[in-house]
Amino acid sequence: MKSILFVGMDVHKETYSLCAINGNTGEVVSETTCGHEAKFIKSFIDQAKRKCGDIKEILTGYEAGCLGYSLYKELKALDIDCHILAPSTMSKSAKNKVVKNDRLDAKMIATNLMHGSYKSVYVPNEDDDDIREYLRMISSIKDMIKVTKQKTKALLLRQGKHFDGKENWTIKYRKWLKDLELRPLVRTTLDEYLHHLDILEEDLGRYEDVVDKLVEDSPRKDKIEALKCFVGIDTLSAITIQSEISDFDRFPKPKALVAYLGLNVGEHSSSDKHNKTSITKQGNSNVRKTLIECATGIIACNPYIKSKRIKARQKGQDIRTITYADKCTKRLHTKYKHLIERGVKKQIAKVAIARELACFIWGMETGNIG
């Protein structure tokens, strides 16, 4: 084997557990627990190198988690090669499943580095990383809006109040809420929910204005605008997909992107028994969630009549791009209809649409649009 020192790091907010393995012999050279600064890791590596003597390369790694890319960047600044390991791709021994502690986790990471039994997490550039943080903040606000609406409806249900209209949260529904006659304290509770909801929605509007500015200034503006040609993909969804994935060329086939997003179907088979499970949900959950939301728009549309909004988004785009996006809409809408007719549950069918939408997006991003 090469003269490489493999350093596994089990990282936490306050401490790092380190384990160094000699690539020549496979033996553990040194183990320790240190503070949460890169300089301590460098000191540990220097000591381990002196013990080995013939080390030519250093490779460090840690599991993707709470630290994000911060430690990776700190080590790169010190000219220390570092990989961020995707947890779902790592090999783990039976002992790790029975006995788990920081020391064993650091050793397990170092062993994976030595054997190459892992896949590295893609590290975006700083601009993409900053945009991702902002978009995830917006996502959390949208979740808060959803929860507030759910709590409001639960309050009304407990009070025996039912809206006679077809759709909730329309102008008519909100007027009905404000005119409801309730006991004083319950009325106050409902008003507080609605006040909180108004603030969140006002903030969301401001944030989305910032997103429009980000798109205008983005070097990927053309690709974002192309994604918006798809029914169901608005500005926020398009920039989320772009910033979260960044480089689509790292996926050789659409199936690789689907697997990265955790939209591929799992399997639990043995001998002559072959069982398919639900989707794996491994990989990027933000894009997976976004695509499922986009699939809702495709399901609800009429694939043969374009709305004014879609026409506006497609205006000025290349005819091949528009044709490809329209083909996607018709195919996925028809597929959803067939799945429902076969008795497939709506949510499962929606996920299937999201999975195929990811394949169409891969084609758009890599230029494979026929």
Q: What pLDDT, on the 0 to 100 scale, is given for residue 281?
A: 87
Q: Is the pLDDT of residue 239 over 90?
A: yes
Q: What pLDDT, on the 0 to 100 scale, is given for residue 89?
A: 86
Q: How many Å apart are CA 214 and CA 130, to the nearest integer?
A: 11
Q: What pLDDT, on the 0 to 100 scale, is given for residue 205?
A: 94
Tell the burial category of 22 from Cβ atoms under 10 Å away from its Cβ (0-12, 13-18, 19+): buried
Q: Is the pLDDT of residue 66 over 60?
A: yes
Q: Is the pLDDT of residue 70 over 90?
A: yes
Across the chain, mean pLDDT equals 92
Residue 121 DSSP symbol: P
CATH 1.20.58 fits 137-217, yes or no: yes
Give me the half-sphere count of Cα atoms (radius 13 Å) on the Cβ side of residue 60.
25
Q: Is the pLDDT of residue 273 over 80?
A: no
Q: Is the pLDDT of residue 1 over 90?
A: no
Give the closest residue to 37 by CA, choosing from 64, 84, 70, 62. 70
What b-and-e string marks burial along 66-99, b requiring 16 or more CB atoms within 10 Å of the CB? ebebebbebbeeeebebbbbbeeebeeeeebeee
Give the closest residue to 230 by CA, choosing from 135, 289, 317, 288. 317
Q: Is the pLDDT of residue 8 over 60?
A: yes
Q: How many Å apart are CA 240 and CA 211, to the nearest integer?
A: 10
- Count the Cβ atoms, other than its own, within 10 Å of residue 11: 22
Which pLDDT tens digit goes with each residue over 109-142? 999 999 999 999 999 989 999 999 999 999 999 9
Q: What pLDDT, on the 0 to 100 scale, is given for residue 165?
A: 87
The alpha carbon of 148 is separated from its chain's Cα centroid by a whole number of angstroms, namely 23
Gyration radius of the chain's alpha carbons: 25
The domain spans of the chain are 4-115, 137-217, 219-370
Q: What pLDDT, on the 0 to 100 scale, is given for residue 267?
A: 74
Which pLDDT tens digit goes with each residue over 94-106? 666 678 899 999 9
Q: What pLDDT, on the 0 to 100 scale, is given for residue 106?
A: 96
Q: Which residue has the higher pLDDT, 312 or 268?
A: 312
Sort residue 225 into left (φ over 0), alpha (ψ -120 to 50) or beta: alpha
CATH 3.40.309.10 fits 4-115, yes or no: no
The SS3 of residue 5 is: strand
Q: What pLDDT, on the 0 to 100 scale, is given for residue 24?
A: 87
Q: Is the pLDDT of residue 178 over 90?
A: yes
Q: What pLDDT, on the 0 to 100 scale, is given for residue 139?
A: 93
DSSP string, 145-208: HHHHHHHHHHHHHHTT----SSSSSSHHHHHHHHH----HHHHHHHHHHHHHHHHHHHHHHHHH
Lookup: tokens for 162: 């039912």
Mean pLDDT of 156-177: 93
pTM of structure: 0.84
